[in-house]
Amino acid sequence: MKRLSWINVALGLWLVAIGAGLDHLAGKAVVEDITAGLFISVSALWATYAFDTTISEAASWTVVIAGAWTAIAPFVLGYQAHRLAATNDVLVGVSVFLLGIANVTLKTRRAGLQQT
């Protein structure tokens, strides 16, 4: 579970680096990449180091939602024509979303096993 969160931390930092370093044509893409990247990284760290299982699951769901937003942001914010930025956001967003779902599933199963 921690590995999945750490991968999401890395993907979030990737978004920040791309937002800061990639020559975007759309300012919205830069702001979205940096903001979403920081949000994903912090939420994934929160999910990793939360002491309570319920809080950790909530943090993991936050990562899932942030991943979904990152994947659809190019279309909602209107920078889908900038293929490099849009493709990166969709791929990273879907990856974060799927890893987040896997993390939530594993945490839910582990919590269920601990209760029995």
Q: What residues does each domain of the chain span? A: 2-115
Task: Return the half-sphere exposure (C-beta side, CA atoms, 13 A cut-off) of residue 40.
Answer: 36
Q: Which amino acid is at 64?
A: V
Residue 108: predicted pLDDT: 82
Tell me, rounded to whole angstroms, the distance of Cα 71 from its chain centroid.
9
Residue 97: predicted pLDDT: 98
Q: Give the DSSP H/E element, type plus range, for residue 102.
A: helix 83-115
Residue 36: predicted pLDDT: 96
Q: pTM, whole model, 2 decimals?
A: 0.88
Residue 24: predicted pLDDT: 62
Residue 45: predicted pLDDT: 94
Residue 17: predicted pLDDT: 93
pLDDT profile of the chain (116 residues), mean per 10: 88 92 75 94 92 86 96 93 90 97 87 63
Residue 26: predicted pLDDT: 67
